[in-house]
Structure 1
Amino acid sequence: MRIGELARATGVSVRLLRYYEEQELLAPGRGAGGQRHYPAEAVTEVARIRTLLAAGLPTRVIRELLPCVLGDGPEVDVCVQDLLRERLGDLDDRIAELRHARTLLGELLDASVRAAA
């Protein structure tokens, strides 16, 4: 299928599909005129990429993970589970920092309201 067909099938813009290719997340074949041609499995690959992006993974990490994805689902080989655990720990740390910042901001607002009353 051509890039426009893949875009329609996945709901992802042509521009974003080209970006995925630049990041080495997708590897289309090329026709005689240089046009991109994607296999039918590219629809699943794009869905997988979108899921990994939504999970907060940067494209460089996704590039490492893609060869380790098992089947059509979100399961990954045991060889990358440590990397995912590390990323999950990073997210937990960021969430804790945001909760702390939210608490401090709430206290500041409460103090400001009390002072104004």
Structure 2
Amino acid sequence: MRIGTLSERTGIPRRMLRYYEETGMLIPGRCANGYRNYDEQSVDRALQIRGLLDAGMPTRVIKQVLPCLKQPGIIHVLNAAPETLDLLERERDSMSERIETLTGSRDAISRYIDTVRRARVPEAEAA
């Protein structure tokens, strides 16, 4: 399939798909005319990459774990290098810290909203 079709099927902009290719995370075939030719597995691969990026994982880490991701939701690890495991542990810990920070921020905003709404109720009743 051409890049436009892959973009439509995944919801990922063409420019981003080209970036995935530039970084070596997504490798299309090439037609005789030089056009990119993506196979059916490219749909899942592009979605995996997008999901990992959305989770906050940097591309340098994604490139290392992609070979372990043969199908969505299934991880195949063959002789994982200790460096890769250390890197993934650091990424996991970093994600956990970001989650805690976001949770704290969300909770603070919720408390603020609740306080403002409670303060408005007496104003509305007085009117």
Report Cα offsets for 1:68-89 as digits up to 9, x if no partner. Answer: 1143225352725543222122
4+ runs deviating over 4 angstroms: 93-99
Structure 1 runs not aligned, ≥5 long: 104-117
> Is the contact between residue 61 and residue 88 of structure 2 (CA under 8 Å) also seen in structure 1?
no
1:54 CA drift (Å)? 1.4
CA distance in 2, matches of 1:18, 1:70: 21
Query: Aligned pair count?
Result: 103
1:34 CA drift (Å)? 0.5
CA distance in 1, matches of 2:8, 2:37: 14
Identity %: 44
TM (norm. structure 1) is: 0.72
The corresponding residue for 1:67 is 67
Could you say which structure has the larger radius of gyration?
A: 2
The corresponding residue for 1:88 is 92
TM (norm. structure 2) is: 0.67
Q: 1:97 to 1:73 in 2, by over 3 A?
A: closer
> Is the contact between residue 70 and residue 76 of structure 1 (CA under 8 Å) also seen in structure 2?
yes
1:4 paired with 2:16, answer no
Q: 1:72 to 1:46 in 2, by over 3 A?
A: same
CA distance in 1, matches of 2:72, 2:36: 23
**1:32 partner SS:** coil
CA distance in 2, matches of 1:93, 1:72: 25
Q: 1:72 to 1:96 in 2, by over 3 A?
A: closer
CA RMSD across the alignment: 2.6
